Structure formats: C-alpha cells, structure tokens
Amino acid sequence: MPESSAESWEPYFDSEEAEFIIGKHLLVGITHRNHADEVTGVEQFHGEIIRANEKEGIVVRLNGSTEERWVPPDLSRLEEAAPGNYRLKATGEVVVDPDLLATWTVYPKKRS
C-alpha cells in the first residue's frame, strides 16, 4: 500500500465489513517518528476486537485485561495474519496465531 500524507489520507470503513472483524484477535504495531523521520518509539499490543465504528475506530480489549485501545477506523490497514508465533519486542510475549495484523506510523503535527 503506498504511503500517503496526513492531508490526503481518507480511511476506508464499511459498517457491514466491520461486523466480520468483531471477535477477531488483532496484533497492532505502531511506530512513532519525529519531524526528521527518526523512530522515537514503538508500541505493540494485541487483543480481541470488541467494537468497530467510524466514531470510535477499531476498539481492542487488550489480551488478559479489561483495558481498551483503539486504532483509526480504516479497514484497509488490516491484513490477515499468517499462522505462527509473533514475539512482541518490548515484552518478549509471544502471540500465537492472531487473526489480523495492523501497522501504523505516527508522525507529529506539522510545525507552523
């Protein structure tokens, strides 16, 4: 998928399609970058998708917790995960056979 600027980004969301991801196990990777395009942080989390709508985004109940996290409501960013073990870099936790993967890169707001 080609990268696009924040100004031109339009999320793809379809309510009927979103119904099919409820209950799926999602593994998310988020890379934070600064204005110089240097990596400033990496986040990874996973859990069950419990809601998906245009207002709240794709809401995940974190594995083994009641805490919820969200990602933007863009179904085009979800991809089917290949079967296997996925090791989280920060914690070493192994996620076995998630259903879906999502990766995001977050940049700071443009300077004035």
Query: Could you read off the pLDDT of 70-81 as tens digits, one per residue?
Result: 999 999 999 999
Q: Does 93 reside within a domain? A: yes
31 in a structural domain: yes
| pLDDT tens column, 3-31 | 545 566 688 999 999 999 999 999 999 99
Is 79 a member of any domain? yes
Q: Judge whether 4 lies within some domain.
A: no
Q: Is residue 3 part of a domain?
A: no
Average pLDDT over the chain reads 92
**Residue 37 located in a structural domain:** yes
78 in any annotated domain: yes
Q: Where are the beta strands (DSSP E) in the chain?
A: 25-33, 39-53, 57-62, 68-71, 78-80, 85-87, 94-96, 100-106
Reported as a pLDDT band with limits 50, 70 and 90, residue 1 is very low
Residue 96: give the domain boundaries: 15-106
Q: Give the chain's domain count.
A: 1
% residues pLDDT > 90 (the chain): 86
* pLDDT given for residue 11 in this prediction: 86
| CA atoms of 29 and 60, how far apart (whole Å) | 13
- Alpha carbons 93 and 88: distance in angstroms, whole number: 5
In this prediction the pTM is: 0.87
Q: Using alpha carbons only, how large is the chain's radius of gyration in Å? A: 15
Beta carbons within 8 Å of 67's beta carbon, 6+ residues apart: 61
